[in-house]
Structure 1
Amino acid sequence: MQEEIDTEWTWADHPMTWLDRDEIRLVSADAQKIHDDIASGLLVIHLHAHDGHTTVAVGTYRHADSVHLHGENHLRVVSGSYDTPGEAIADFERLYGDAVRPGPPPPTDTEQQTTQALTALSTSASANTPDAPAEPQAAKTEWVPVHAADPGDHEALFKDFLNSQPAWEKYRPYDETTIANHESLTLRVEFAHETGPRDINWTVAAYETPVSDRLWHSTATASTPTAIISALLDTVAAENVWGPRLSPRATEAAIAAATRPLADAGWKHSIDGRYISWQAPGPEKGGVQFDAFAAQTTNDSLPTWTIWGGHAVHQPTWQLQLSAHAPTSLVQDIAIEMAEGQGSRRARPAADGPALHTVQAPAPVAASPPATHLPTHGR
């Protein structure tokens, strides 16, 4: 059951001028707690949008209620509470429609400035040490597990896919988007050009017939390593996407078959409530997560599989997600690449030795592209 909080006034237009100093501290403290809950993984954000004034989002507390969030930075508040994620997501999509985007929102200007300030302090402290080099050393390339690799050239990958697949026909309904349809009209790849690193630029969908409902779909962000995207496209191009599928009530045997490459490679397996996870060994963080709740719901806005690399599953550098009916062979092919693949990454030597460290700059906030939703019925 939803518990609504009155938010008809606009926070963005009224910076708490009606509150006294103690009340402002309370609001800011609540906003800080929301930020900390997201950062720690206690609150997982499913979707976000911009309502014309500020950022809104929907998320779920682990082992607790789902919530709607309203506002940014020190003005962020819980604007609604729901008993289930499905109910919260459905109402969020009803409220914000085409403005809805998957995952957490990109960092705000304030968050970026904070990150840059902390980075500058760290850099300044390092520069003041006696052993700091006078000149920055040139960047080099290192080989790392594929989940820690640089994104690579997605434009070139999509071009190669189209050139090597005569059974696929492309068209470009918008300047920013190119779509490739299989000649059977049951497979579709949508590629969005010039997106931000955290934005979705790949959407793949399969249909049982040209006029049927969507069977399964997958999305991936622009920062996903091309080797991971290639594993997805290779399976789709082989038309090996109508084989054994993970049903809404996926069995242990089906999940085990899909993730066997991870188990064989020694990935750490854990269960936390509705989530089953496989964590990469070694210092480079990456993983695969299966959401048992999402696998049983009819709302495919909740991803069943999340493949990721970066800080954590709720704070990824990149992510690829699959819906409930994704075929076992597809999940397994991506799992093989995650377990065995390698990729290149630009790095620079550390000041005090030969060890290499990745050059990381704060990700820019890119404007969200126009919504391009794949149809759930025949085209």
Structure 2
Amino acid sequence: MRVPNDGENASHTIVAVGTYLNGGKSVYLHGEDHLRQVADTFDSPAQALVSFERVHGDTMRPGPAPMTDTERAAAEARTSLGTPTAEPEPSVPGPETVPAYAADPGDHDGLLDAFLDEHGDWQKWRTWSDETTHAIHEDQTLRIERVHEAPAHETAWTVAAYETPVSDRMWLLTLTGATPAPVLQTLLDSLAEGEAFETAIGSPATEKTVTQATRALTEDGWKHTIDGRRIRWTSPAGDAGVQFDAFAAQSRHSSLTTWTLWAGPSIDRPAWAIHASPYTPAPMLAHLSEELAHGTGTRQPQAAARERRASLGASPPAIPPAKAGPAASHTQGRHR
């Protein structure tokens, strides 16, 4: 406890009375820190308390003696050493807005389910395997095959068009598993709007259709180069592109890859790719090109880090040639 000094001095001095452990002497202490001294001793705690109360009864309080400034500083130092400073929780960065071709794949199965729910002229067909879903237009000339567990760099989607339900295939388009959600959504929207039927039967891609399909890239300043039979449009950052193969476009084999849309380190090591055959409708390709040039999407920061690590590591396997489209003969029944 603190009691005033003698006289009218406004300063204060710590005084205390206490007993040493194990039956030791009782003492009356005066002062603090290096000035603290034993002012008196007593044979018993009772004698010490009676004497102390006689002098300081007005301010006497039970309990331990107040800590001196030195004792208080030492206690604070021990506390700071014994208890580590709590560090703030690291903030979790939110998704960043990026060009559509650099966006996350998102939920491909969810996009397909939403497409089928919104468009009653498409029906989901049940096959012998749960690994694959077929969606077929009501006129039986346009079909989608979705491979649910396909790796990121392998074909996960196949879209095929036919002149009649029993005729040969007119055109074929495939997408790999890592295709960004905005790009896939653009393709599904094109199928819903009927652009898949706008095909000049019997004539391959022409200069007019190529110009129509790539107009958005040209207007957006994508780099235009010609390498033999291949014409390429590359994004300003060099991380995406569209390639047209003039030789494949004139071939009678409709499954040859004429158009390649891609993004990633290079066309030979793409993060994702779309391959399309010669008769793929120009309006559909135009909408896809426009999405690459002007569309945006979101990407989680960790996805960008994985993509950088992948580009520095081993090259992903090459994209296989487009395979045959889904056939109605593989189905066993259907349900909505």
TM-score, structure 1 normalization: 0.56
Percent identity between the two aligned chains: 42
Counterpart residue number, 1:61 = none
Q: Closer, same or farther in 2 for the Cα pair 1:305/1:292, shift >3 Å? A: same
Displacement of 1:357 in angstroms is 5.9
Q: 1:226 aligns with which of 177, 181, 188?
A: 181
Is contact 1:246–1:326 with CA below 8 Å preserved after alignment? no
| Residue of structure 1 in register with 2:325 after alignment | 374
1:152 equivalent among 96, 99, 106 = 106
Match of 1:198 in 2: 153
Q: Which residue of 2 aligns with 1:271?
A: 226
What is the CA–CA distance in structure 2 between the aligned matches of 1:239 and 1:310, rounded to whole Å?
Answer: 30
User: Could you give the per-residue CA deviations for residues 39-95 of structure 1, whole angstroms, max 9, x where no partner exists?
Assistant: xxxxxxxxxxxxxxxxxxxxxxxxxxxxxxxxxxxxxxxxxxxxxxxxxxxxxxxxx
Q: Structure 2: how far apart are the matches of 1:249 and 1:171? A: 31
**Residues 214 and 376, structure 1, Cα contact 8 Å, conserved in 2:** no
Give the conservation status (yes or no) of the 8 Å contact 1:306–1:319. yes
Aligned partner of 1:73 in structure 2 is none
Pairwise CA distance, 1:248 = 5.4
Q: Look up the match of 2:283.
A: 329
Q: Answer whether contact 1:216 1:326 (CA < 8 A) is retained.
A: yes
* Superposed structure 1 runs of 4+ greater than 4 Å apart: 135-139, 246-249, 361-366, 375-379
Q: Does 2:193 match 1:242? A: no
Cα distance between partner residues in 2 of 1:137 and 1:373: 47
Q: Tell me how far apart the structure 2 counterparts of residues 139 and 341 of structure 1 sit (CA, whole Å).
A: 22
Q: Aligned partners of 1:253 and 1:307: how far apart in 2?
A: 19
CA 1:182/1:329 → structure 2, altered by over 3 Å: closer, same or farther? same
Aligned match of 1:286: 240
Instruction: Give 1:302 shift.
Output: 2.4
**C-alpha displacement at 1:256, in angstroms?**
0.8
Q: 2:124 aligns with which of 140, 165, 170?
A: 170
CA drift at 1:266: 0.9
Give the SS at the match of 1:171: strand
2:173 is matched by which residue type in structure 1? S
In 1, the alpha carbon distance for the partners of 2:102 and 2:326 equals: 33
Q: 1:257 to 1:247 in 2, by over 3 A?
A: farther
1:245/1:337 Cα in 2 relative to 1: closer, same or farther (>3 Å)? Answer: farther
| Alpha-carbon distance, 1:164 to partner | 0.7
Decide whether aligned partners of structure 1 residues 357 and 378 sit closer, same or farther in structure 2, where only a CA change above 3 A counts: closer
Q: Give the structure-2-normalised TM-score.
A: 0.63
Contact 1:213 1:378 in 2 (8 A): no
Does the residue aligned with 2:149 lie in a helix, a strand or coil?
coil
CA distance in 2, matches of 1:335, 1:248: 22
CA drift at 1:253: 2.0
Q: 1:241 to 1:318 in 2, by over 3 A?
A: same
Code of the residue aligned with 2:103 in structure 1: it is A
Q: Report 1:338-377 matches (<5 A).
A: 338-347=292-301, 358-360=305-307, 361-362=309-310, 373-374=324-325
Deviation for aligned residue 1:138: 4.2
- Does the 8 Å CA contact 2:222/2:236 hold for their aligned counterparts? yes
Q: Which runs of 5+ in 1 are unaligned?
A: 1-134, 349-355
Structure possessing the higher radius of gyration over alpha carbons: 2
2:174 paired with 1:216: no
Match of 1:256 in 2: 211
Distance 1:267 1:359 in 2: 26
Provide the C-alpha distance between the structure 2 equivalents of 1:325 and 1:376, rounded to a whole number of angstroms: 19
Report if the CA contact (8 A) 2:232-2:241 is conserved: yes
Asked whether the equivalents of residues 276 and 291 of structure 1 are also in contact (C-alpha less than 8 Å), the reply is: yes
Across the aligned residues of Structure 1 and Structure 2, the Cα RMSD in angstroms comes to 3.0
Verify: 1:300 aligned to 2:254, yes or no: yes
Give the residue type in structure 2 aligned to 1:374. Answer: G
SS in 2 for 1:152: coil
Question: 1:152 touches 1:225 (CA, 8 Å); kept in 2?
Answer: yes
Corresponding position of 1:125:
none
Secondary structure of the corresponding residue to residue 223 of structure 1: coil
Superposed CA offset, 1:157-197 (max 9, x none): 11111111111111121110000111100110111111211
Distance between the aligned counterparts of 1:186 and 1:234, measured in 2? 17
**Partner SS state of residue 270, structure 2:** strand
CA distance in 2, matches of 1:139, 1:267: 31
Q: Which has the higher contact order (CA 8 A, sep 6+)?
A: 2
> Partner of 1:316 in structure 2?
270
Closer/same/farther in 2, CA of residues 147 and 372 from structure 1, 3 Å limit: closer
